[in-house]
Amino acid sequence: MHYNNLTDYLQSQKEWLKSFLFDILSIPSESGKEEKIQQCLYDIFKNFDVSCELTEIQNNIVKDPEYSDTIKDLDYTGRPNLKVENHETGSKTIVINSHVDVVPPSTGQRNPYSPCMDEKENIFARGACDAKGQIAAIALVLKAAKDYIKLGQKIICHLVIEEEIGGNGTLAMIRHEKNTKVDAVINMEPTNLRIMPSIRGAVWFNICFSGKSGHAGATLNSTNPVYKAMHAIKILKEYHSKLENESKNYGLFKDIDNPMPLTIGQFISGEWPSMTPGGTLVRGVIGFLPNKTREEVIQGFVNELNKPKNAWVKEGMNLRFDYRHNAVELPVSHWLVKKMSEACLRCKAKYLPIAMTASTDAIYYHEMGIPVIAFGPGDIKYAHSAIEHINFNQIIKSAEIIISFIKGLN
């Protein structure tokens, strides 16, 4: 088969790519249930000109100080990460990371695991935008390397589990790969094909208030934990506004509205309308920018709670932070950003770097001192939503940009 150029080759792969993506979208792979998709990806990639390794995760990963225990008692048996590595070498070793786990279907999302494509070539399914469309882009890069183009660099793909619940898959992968020298990482997430060298941080809080349940007609004998929880949320909101003020106009985040939201995600309480609840649980996320560390953010909130006027709230309260990601910031002058910008320019895509307003697994590489950016097809506003979708042509474009980036390193 003759192709005039890379674009020509990539376009010729549309049917193959669509069937690859539909296959992996049809596999439900919520965090904690990634066995099947990892085996499926292994079976596909082993036919490429690469080495594939399903790397088992030991259950003692839960003892790692960086482990996120957002879900208790997860068993890692049979839920490996997948490492895919090409046989080429060059001046650089580039890791491409993406995750195979998805969040549960949204309320009102129809047939989340029966993918379909509309007339504008948008593909709908849970995980289409976050992050199976990105895995399809990686597959297309590897397929191009097998069929059409020599990449001339060492490429290692980390296809990991559990990104959505804190990044334990990537954590296990970097522990497993601690002796591999890596020059740069592309963390594939929905960035709408924009280069994102600044990625906000996040800490998840878990605040449990125990009360004393009792009859609604004798409230003096009971303590209502809902009031404590409501007050704690008020403290959180005031503290978060203070953080926002201290982070105004920071770096690449300056042009973004609400770049570091506070989200109260869960408020669970009560058994019966005429009964004081025995307990209340509040869980959520504090977003923050690279001008603060996770320790500062956590300590700042604890200090607010410790003020004497809040002593009544703290009584019977248990506070945990079960996901703690610092923000990522790579200078825009770094070669990784520059080379990616050049690749975007060559491929006629937007080349100016911007900031990412979600926390990702990029932080694990950043903490190891490895330069990392987030990049990928898909618009984050559709991720985790009832209308989750990705544009098929963006997937192909992202593969073209990544190939151009790798070739540009030669």
Q: Which residues bind Zn ion (CB under 5 A)?
A: 130-131, 189
Q: Which amino acid, residue 364?
A: Y
Which whole-number Å values give the CA distances from 378 to 17, 246, 392, in the listed order?
16, 31, 9
Q: Which is nearer to Zn ion, 162 or 189 (CB)?
A: 189
The conformational region for residue 216 under phi > 0 = left, psi -120 to 50 = alpha, else beta, is alpha
Q: How far is the CB of 345 from Zn ion (least distance, A)?
A: 26
Q: How far is the CB of 124 from Zn ion (least distance, A)?
A: 17
Q: What is the phi/psi pair of residue 371, to 5°?
A: -60, 135
**Residue least distant from Zn ion (Cβ):** 130
Q: Which is nearer to Zn ion, 153 or 360 (CB)?
A: 360
Q: How far is the C-alpha of 131 from the C-alpha of 378, rounded, in Å?
A: 9
Q: How far is the C-alpha of 191 from the C-alpha of 218, rounded, in Å?
A: 54
Q: Which is nearer to Zn ion, 98 or 224 (CB)?
A: 98
Q: Which is nearer to Zn ion, 130 or 162 (CB)?
A: 130
Q: Which is nearer to Zn ion, 17 or 356 (CB)?
A: 356
b/e burial code for range 265-289 (CB count within 10 A of at least 16 → b) = eeeebbeeeeebbbbbebbbbbbbb
Q: How far is the CB of 268 from Zn ion (least distance, A)?
A: 25
Q: How far is the C-alpha of 369 from the C-alpha of 393, rounded, in Å?
A: 33
Q: Nearest Cα to 233, choosing from 269, 281, 297, 276? A: 281
Q: Which is nearer to Zn ion, 30 or 304 (CB)?
A: 30
Q: Which is nearer to Zn ion, 130 or 400 (CB)?
A: 130
Q: Nearest Cα to 67, choosing from 167, 142, 148? A: 167
ω into 131 cis (within 30 of 0): yes
User: Are 153 and 212 contacting, i.e. CB atoms less than 8 angstroms apart?
Assistant: no
Q: How far is the CB of 22 from Zn ion (least distance, A)?
A: 19
Q: Nearest Cα to 250, choosing from 327, 195, 304? A: 327
Q: How far is the CB of 54 from Zn ion (least distance, A)?
A: 21
Q: How far is the C-alpha of 410 from the C-alpha of 403, rounded, in Å?
A: 11
Q: How far is the CB of 375 from Zn ion (least distance, A)?
A: 12
Q: How far is the CB of 130 from Zn ion (least distance, A)?
A: 4
Secondary-structure breakdown of the chain: helix, strand, coil percentages, each rounded to the nearest 5: 35, 25, 40
Which whole-number Å values give the CA distances from 76 to 56, 60, 84, 334, in the listed order?
8, 9, 20, 37
Q: Which is nearer to Zn ion, 131 or 402 (CB)?
A: 131
Q: How far is the CB of 101 from Zn ion (least distance, A)?
A: 9
Q: How far is the CB of 315 from Zn ion (least distance, A)?
A: 39
User: Are 354 and 196 contacting, i.e. CB atoms less than 8 angstroms apart?
Assistant: yes
Q: Which is nearer to Zn ion, 131 or 330 (CB)?
A: 131
